């Protein structure tokens, strides 16, 4: 899977862009900088780069190209369960160095999390940057 399409310049631009939303309130169903939920946040960010992704976290399983954890790159979308039940219910954007940015319902805002200490199980990784 090292031959997967990937555009490092676009990824860098996305990572730069996404950080301006740190601290934006978590709002269930929110999809604007006034308030985001996890998939509203992800969809809003990628739309700025003309990349279409689903509005609902559950729909991300079939989005883009599947990536193995050993091949994760900044800009890849992380798929998590929320309740330790292995049901897809949360998404975030990998930003490198074992960190990801997401609209966190428990923290009440957009935050950077650490993959090593995050409570949700990673159910998959999807690459949408070509």
Task: Enumerate the active-site residues.
Answer: 38, 90, 102
The helix/strand/coil state of 101 is: strand
Q: What are phi and psi of 89, to 5 degrees?
A: -150, 5
Token code pair at residue 79: 């798929």
How many whole angstroms separate alpha carbon 67 and alpha carbon 116? 18
**Alpha-carbon distance values, 105 to 6, 37, 48, 52, 66 (Å):** 30, 7, 23, 23, 26
């Amino acid at each position: 899977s090292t031959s997967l399409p990937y555009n490092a310049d676009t990824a860098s631009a996305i990572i730069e862009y996404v950080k301006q939303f740190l601290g934006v309130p978590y709002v269930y169903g929110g999809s604007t900088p006034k308030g985001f939920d996890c998939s509203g946040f992800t969809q809003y960010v990628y739309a700025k780069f003309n990349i279409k992704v689903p509005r609902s976290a559950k729909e991300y399983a079939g989005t883009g190209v599947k990536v193995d954890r050993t091949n994760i790159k900044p800009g890849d979308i992380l798929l998590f369960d929320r309740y330790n039940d292995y049901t897809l219910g949360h998404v975030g954007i990998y930003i490198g160095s074992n960190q990801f940015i997401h609209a966190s319902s428990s923290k009440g805002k957009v935050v950077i999390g650490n993959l090593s200490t995050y409570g949700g199980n990673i159910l998959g990784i999807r690459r949408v940057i070509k």
